Structure 1
Amino acid sequence: MFTSRRLILATVAAALLSGCASPNPYDNQGQAQSGQGVSRTAKYGGLGALAGAVAGAAIDHNNRGKGALIGAVVAGAASAGYGYYADRQEAQLRASMANTGVEVQRQGDQIKLIMPGNITFATDSSAIAPSFYSPLNNLATSFKQFNENIIEIVGFTDSTGSRQHNMDLSQARAQAVATYLTSQGVDTTRLAVRGMGPDQPIASNADANGRAQNRRVEVNLKPIPGQQYEAPAQQ
């Protein structure tokens, strides 16, 4: 029993330390760091190893030490794989979206792109604005290179006008983005489209500046459940 416990602890410690020690080519760019200076790759790998060790020990009742070791290695590798994949994609998106007006955010295991109304669509229109084509082309290029995400496209409006009109308009705008990305070679089976209308505002609708912020399109990149991830080679 004592030996099994030491094996579990050693396995988890090794996974955490190896994750922290592994060089991350994007550490100096700021987007792949956690609050304490540990890359998401290391964080996901270490936490995955811990969860895997617990699960492995629970599954193999006859040899908990062996089960923990197997669980830690498998789960840790899978988690670190997505963490590194997302780090790479985030860095590529930040570079390609620079100076376009598109904001790139990282929220745990998801990447969010916020596209403000001043570059996306004219007022009360779902026709793609000329200023929006360049960011969309960059997105299409990234999505074809990093082709193992779920891509959720969500349209939003301000609160001006009827709710039903805004729901329809936001859906049409999200669909216009999806249609254009598909025309540029992005696999349509990866795309999900939603219109949220005036729901989930990010600013006050009481003034023009706030309404402009609320008129936006968001693209959320999410991992595919159960997918094994390996980041594509650098171009």
Structure 2
Amino acid sequence: MKTKVALVAVMSGSLVLAGCATTDNQNTTRGAAIGAVAGAIAGKATGNHKNKRMVIGAAVGALAGAAVGGYMDNQEKALREELKGSGVGVQRDGDRLVLDIPAQLTFDINRSDIRPSLYPALNDIAKVLRDYPKTMVVVAGHTDDTGPYQFNMNLSRARAESVQSYLVAQGVQPIRIETIGYGP
């Protein structure tokens, strides 16, 4: 019975790929390299003067990729600072930040109402999301494996939607939040 929140930076013109966990500077460098390759491919594939377009595409892609890496580095740092001591884990997975929220903070058994013990962490998450408005959020609800499968699927979706509603009430734009229920 845990909830996972995945944060993904979305910036136009960039290609975002998941990768291994790295240090802050490596994330920016990797983002620039991925962006450069993506930009070069896009530039080469369009119109006449393909080599010139490839160079321009690589430069634009490198800037976009570095921007995504740097943006996520800063957001990861902010989340770690805000959530320090809360029990919520912050993990970096390439272009994604995954927040692992312990079951004892989230929901009672067979319920989708958020426990009050989760409010402080959700408030901190909402604050960071308001500060980083280019981030898309996926809230993944889970359940234990007791009870009927369909009940657990519905419950996991309801839990994800409860977290979404709470974040929206804290000022996060609803269009930025996707919910998914994984069940048991």
TM-score interval, smaller chain: 0.7 to 0.9
> 1-side partners of 2:63 and 2:122: how far apart?
33
> 2-side partners of 1:196 and 1:58: how far apart?
39
Deviations 1:99-147 (A, max 9, x none): 1111111111111111121111122221211210100000110111111
* Match in the other structure for 1:47: 34
> 2-side partners of 1:83 and 1:128: how far apart?
32
- The code of the aligned residue for 1:196 comes to Y
Does the residue aligned with 1:104 lie in a helix, a strand or coil? strand
Q: What are the ranges of 5 or more consecutive residues in structure 2 without an aligned counterpart?
A: 1-20
* Match in the other structure for 2:67: 81
- Per-residue deviation, 1:67: 2.0
* Match in the other structure for 1:12: none
Indicate how the Cα distance of structure 1 residues 63 and 166 shifts in structure 2: closer, same or farther if over 3 A, else same: closer
The yes-or-no answer on 1:189 pairing with 2:183 is no
- Per-residue deviation, 1:56: 2.4
- The code of the aligned residue for 1:33 comes to T
Q: Select the structure with the greater relative contact order (CA < 8 A; seq sep ≥ 6).
A: 2
Deviations 1:62-87 (A, max 9, x none): 361x2222111111111111111111
- Per-residue deviation, 1:180: 0.8
Deviations 1:172-206 (A, max 9, x none): 111111111111111111111121111xxxxxxxx
After TM superposition, the score normalised by the length of structure 1 is 0.65
The yes-or-no answer on 1:141 pairing with 2:127 is yes
- For the 8 Å contact 1:57–1:68, the answer to whether it is kept is yes
Indicate how the Cα distance of structure 1 residues 63 and 115 shifts in structure 2: closer, same or farther if over 3 A, else same: closer
The yes-or-no answer on 1:33 pairing with 2:19 is no
Name which of 141, 146, 149 aligns with 1:160: 146
* Match in the other structure for 1:15: none
- For the 8 Å contact 1:155–1:196, the answer to whether it is kept is yes
- For the 8 Å contact 1:32–1:87, the answer to whether it is kept is no
- The code of the aligned residue for 1:129 comes to R
* Match in the other structure for 1:59: 46
- For the 8 Å contact 2:40–2:54, the answer to whether it is kept is yes
Indicate how the Cα distance of structure 1 residues 194 and 51 shifts in structure 2: closer, same or farther if over 3 A, else same: closer
> 1-side partners of 2:65 and 2:133: how far apart?
18
Does the residue aligned with 1:153 lie in a helix, a strand or coil? strand
- Per-residue deviation, 1:51: 3.2
> 2-side partners of 1:75 and 1:194: how far apart?
31
Does the residue aligned with 1:124 lie in a helix, a strand or coil? coil
After TM superposition, the score normalised by the length of structure 2 is 0.82
- Per-residue deviation, 1:156: 0.3
Which 4+ stretches in 1 moved above 6 angstroms? none
Indicate how the Cα distance of structure 1 residues 97 and 191 shifts in structure 2: closer, same or farther if over 3 A, else same: same
- For the 8 Å contact 2:28–2:66, the answer to whether it is kept is yes
User: Structure 1 vs Structure 2: percent identity of aligned residues?
Assistant: 40
